[in-house]
Structure 1
Amino acid sequence: MSKLLPLLVGATAIALVFPSAFERYRANLVSEGEVERLDSPRPVVEAALPPATGRTVRLEAGADGHFRTLARFDGRNEDVMIDTGATYVALGEDAARRLGLRVGPSDFVYRAQTAQGSVRAALASVRRLSIGPVELFDVDVMVLQGQGPGTTLLGMSFLKRLARFQAEGGRLTLSQ
């Protein structure tokens, strides 16, 4: 230890007397008018689940030509009819209550045009909406005051978020 102490004292003295290589480098950059840049660190991406891809569901048209299936709204089953003419997933107040969506009288601030005419509507969100393996999160839904459309409509607020949906030959393919 006694042999190491003079060596440490000497190294400390030399470091104090002479500027460091970093200080000389920085002084050169400033005197030459260059701007010193540092690369930003890569952003951290947080995700609970990786996005699901490659999931597909094929539906057969019913005798009336419509595509009907069972969907899961936050874990609760609901019969739905696919409707590309509906801007949102649309359902009546009773269905909304059954599926755990909470909307009150003051939430009905919108007007929606349905096959039965104009009706008051409220916007809500479903945390997880799935048809078989096809699963989306935070899907906007429109709750129609009263009975609504009778059948819950799976509209474009769900369909447009898929990688692809295509109807051909009496079969509808939904791909994530």
Structure 2
Amino acid sequence: MTKLLPLLIGATAVALVFPSAFERYRASLVSEGEVERLEPPVAVVEAAVPRPSGRMVRLPAGADGHFRVEARFDGRNEEVMVDTGATYVALGQETARRLGVWVDPSDFVHRAQTAQGTVRAALAKVRHLSIGPVEAADVDVMVLEGQGPGVTLLGMSFLKRLSRFEVADGRLTLVQ
């Protein structure tokens, strides 16, 4: 160990007397009189935009021009008719019970305008609603008192969750 001590002291003295190769290189990058600038690191920001899943369903129009399809409400099947004019997925009270959507009589505090006139309505949520591979979670639904519209309407509370939907050549395409 004592033999290495003079070598260690000598190496330290040389390092202090002569500038390091790194300092010479850094000095060569900056012209005389110029201030060395350090660029801040680039920040990586993750966007909160959901990526399209590529899931798609094409629905043919019925003879009456409407688009009907079998949907799954929390694992239970129900035929729905697509209605872009409906703000919510709308279903009658009996249909809601059958699908497991429970509302209390005191929840009917809203009014909804239907083809049959004005009815009392309650807002609720469906945990999972899907049409084939196209699906959404926690979808707002409007339960209409009594029989409701006679058919379950697939309204904008579901459709707005899609990346797009369009009608062309007698088919409605839903894309997630």
Q: Same fold (TM over 0.5)?
A: yes
Q: Which amino acid aligns with 1:151?
A: V
* Per-residue Cα deviation, 1:122-152 (whole angstroms, up to 9, x for no partner): 0000000000000100000000000000000
Q: What residue ranges of structure 1 are gaps of 5+ in the alignment? A: 1-41
The separation in 1 between residues aligned to 2:69 and 2:163, in whole angstroms, is 19
Q: What residue ranges of structure 2 are gaps of 5+ in the alignment? A: 1-44
RMSD over equivalenced CA pairs, Å: 2.1
Q: Note closer, same or farther for the CA distance 1:51–1:138 as it changes in structure 2 (3 Å cut).
A: farther
Q: Is the 8 A contact 2:52 2:163 kept in 1?
A: no
Structure 1 equivalent of residue 139 of structure 2 = 139
Q: 4+ runs of 1 displaced by more than 2 Å?
A: none
The 5 A counterparts of 1:112-127 are 112-127=112-127
Give the drift of 1:51: 6.9
The separation in 2 between residues aligned to 1:52 and 1:94, in whole angstroms, is 35
The separation in 2 between residues aligned to 1:150 and 1:53, in whole angstroms, is 33
Relative to the length of structure 1, the TM-score reads 0.71
Structure 1 equivalent of residue 152 of structure 2 = 152
Q: Is the 8 A contact 2:109 2:121 kept in 1?
A: yes
Counterpart secondary structure, 2:129: strand
The separation in 2 between residues aligned to 1:93 and 1:121, in whole angstroms, is 9
Relative to the length of structure 2, the TM-score reads 0.71
Structure 2 equivalent of residue 99 of structure 1 = 99
Structure 2 equivalent of residue 167 of structure 1 = 167
Structure 2 equivalent of residue 77 of structure 1 = 77
Paired positions, count: 133
The separation in 2 between residues aligned to 1:135 and 1:122, in whole angstroms, is 23
